[in-house]
Amino acid sequence: MINEKKIDTVQAKIKAAIAQIEKEENVKISFGNIRYNSAYYTSQLKVSTLEKNEKVKGVYESICRSLGFTQDVVGMTFTKGSTQYEIIDIKTRNRKYPVIAKTKSGKQYKFTVSTVKSLIGGDKIINRNANLDKLV
């Protein structure tokens, strides 16, 4: 029978096996939502490359431009209140909150494009920060 305890033990064993694959293939593998009943459970698996080449950067830049940003914003930081966030992903299927950012503690939050633009400082600041990164 599948229950939460069984899922936790199976997931731990899978993560241990995946750690070796991540190291060998230079990728990041993460689990998504889990759905289960007493007979089985399903989980999503996301594999992201850790390589930083022009082709990968081009994909992120085109995704960001399609949302209304002028540059690739993945990796940029912004402050809301007293908390600093780093943009870690863009979820194109989420129309309302496509920008995923995390805090230093690792907790992830969703933001709208307009919120992120206003917190970073607008398109002029985004362009300036992106161009500064290219110069360094």
Question: Do 62 and 30 reside in the same domain of the chain?
Answer: no
Number of CB atoms found within 10 A of residue 10's CB: 13
By residue count, the chain amounts to 136
pLDDT of 73 > 80? The answer is: yes
**Residues 72, 16 share a domain:** no
Interval 21-49 mean pLDDT: 88
The total number of structural domains that make up the chain: 2
For residues 68 and 129, state if they share a domain. yes
Rg for the chain (alpha carbons), in Å? 18
| 88 shares its domain with 124 | yes
Segment 14-19 shows an average pLDDT of: 91
Give yes or no: residues 58 and 40 share one domain: no
Q: Which domain holds residue 126?
A: 54-135
Residue type (1 letter), 19: A
Whether the Cβ atoms of residue 46 and residue 36 lie closer than 8 Å to each other: no
Q: Could you tell me if 17 and 67 lie in one domain? A: no
| Cα–Cα distance measured from residue 67 to residue 92, given in angstroms and rounded to the nearest whole number | 8
Asked if residues 73 and 80 have their Cβ atoms less than 8 Å apart, the reply is no
pLDDT tens, position by position, 83-131:
999 998 888 888 899 999 999 998 999 999 999 988 887 777 766 666 6
Do 91 and 116 belong to one domain? yes
**Do 13 and 77 have their domain in common?**
no
Q: Which of 7-11, 31-35, 110-114 is predicted with the least confidence, judged by mean pLDDT? A: 31-35
| More confident call, 10 vs 57 | 10
- Asked whether residue 41 falls in the same domain as residue 8, the answer is yes
- Whether 99 and 114 have beta carbons less than 8 Å apart is answered as no
Do 25 and 92 fall within a single domain?
Answer: no
Long-range CB pairs of 124-133 (<8 Å, 24+ gap) are 126/69, 126/70, 126/71, 126/73, 126/76, 127/70, 127/71, 129/71, 129/76, 130/71, 130/72
Assigned token pair, 37: 């009943």
The answer to whether the predicted template modeling score (pTM) of the entire model surpasses 0.75 is no
Mean pLDDT of the chain: 85
- In this structure, the answer to whether residues 125 and 66 fall within a common structural domain is yes
